[in-house]
Structure 1
Amino acid sequence: MKPATAAKKLDIYLPATPEEFRNGTITRAELAALQADPPQWLRDLRANGPHPKNLVAAKLGISNSGLIRGEVTEALTTDEINALLADKPDWLEAERTKHVEVLREERRKRSLNADKQREDHSDDA
C-alpha cells in the first residue's frame, strides 16, 4: 500500500515519518508488524506528534471544520495541543461548545430514528 494509506491506518502524520517509510511501499504484513510492535520512531511520533488533523481535532474536542475555523492549518505536537487546552482561547471554547451541541443533536436524531424503526416493526407484527 502507499505510505499515505499506511500512515492513515496508523493515525500518524506522514511528513513526520522517516524517509524510508514515506518513499517505500508497505505490505499488509509490514503494517501489521508496525501495529503489533511499533518501532521507537512510531512510538515517539504517536506520543509527541506532530499529529494529523483528525487526531488534533479529537484531542481538542472539536471537529475538523472547527480546526479550520480556528485557523489551525498545520499539524500540531502534543505540547502545542496541551498549550491550547491550557490557554483555552475563545475560538476553542466556542468550537468545543458547538461540537458538543452537534453530537447531542446527532444522538437525538439517531434515537428518534431507532424509535421510529421499533414502532414500524411493532406495527408489522
Structure 2
Amino acid sequence: MTSHQTPQTMKPATAAKKLGVYLEATPAEFQEGVVSRSEFNALQAEPPAWLEELRRNGPHPRPVVAAKLGVSISGLARGGVTEPLTTEQIDALKNEMPEWLSAERATQADVRKETVRIKERNAERAAKADKAGS
C-alpha cells in the first residue's frame, strides 16, 4: 500500500503575512489560489517584480508599518493609523514626527529595556540555581 503525500499548501493570506506584504495589493492570481510550500520557497528565494515592488514601496501591512516606525501595532492604533501605508507615507510620518509617534517610540524603547532587564535577571537566577545545585 502506497501513501500519497499531498503537498503542503497555505492560504494566500498566510503566505502574504509570511512574505510581509499586504494581501489586497498582491496580484489577483496570488489572492485567488493556494500557495504550495515549494511556490512559497521560490517566492522567497527569487521574488518576482511585483513582490519586490510591494516590499520596497508598499502598501505595507500593519506589522511592517509598526516595525518601520519603531512602534508596536497597538501604538499604531493609538496613533490613529489603521490602514496600510506606503513607504512614502511612512517616511513622511518619520519626518513630521507627530507627538503620538514620539511618545510610542519612547514607550517601545522602555519595553525593550525592560525585556533586556528581565532576561538578564532570569539568567542570573539560573546561574545561581546551577551554582547551588552543583
TM-score range, shorter chain: over 0.9
Unaligned runs of 5+ in 1: none
Q: 1:11 — aligned with what?
A: 20
Q: 1:39 — aligned with what?
A: 48
TM-score (ref. length: structure 2): 0.92
**2:83 is the counterpart of 1:82:** no
The superposition leaves residues 19-58 of structure 1 with CA deviations (integer Å, 9 ceiling, x where unpaired) of 1000000000000110011110000000000111111001
Whole-Å Cα distance in 2 between the matches of residues 84 and 9 of structure 1?
25
Q: Which runs of 4+ in 1 moved over 6 A?
A: none
Q: 2:121 aligns with which of 82, 87, 112?
A: 112
Q: 2:73 — aligned with what?
A: 64
Code of the residue aligned with 2:102 in structure 1: it is: E
- Alpha-carbon offset, residue 9 of structure 1: 1.1
TM-score (ref. length: structure 1): 0.98
Code of the residue aligned with 1:71 in structure 2: it is: G
Whole-Å Cα distance in 2 between the matches of residues 37 and 102 of structure 1?
36
Q: 1:48 — aligned with what?
A: 57
Any idea what SS the aligned residue of 1:79 has?
helix
Q: 1:97 — aligned with what?
A: 106
Of structures 1 and 2, the larger Rg is shown by 2
Identity of aligned residues (%): 54
CA RMSD of aligned residues (A): 0.5
Q: 2:4 — aligned with what?
A: none
Q: 1:30 — aligned with what?
A: 39
Equivalent residues, number: 125
Whole-Å Cα distance in 1 between the matches of residues 120 and 73 of structure 2?
25
Whole-Å Cα distance in 1 between the matches of residues 124 and 24 of structure 2?
46
Unaligned runs of 5+ in 2: 1-9
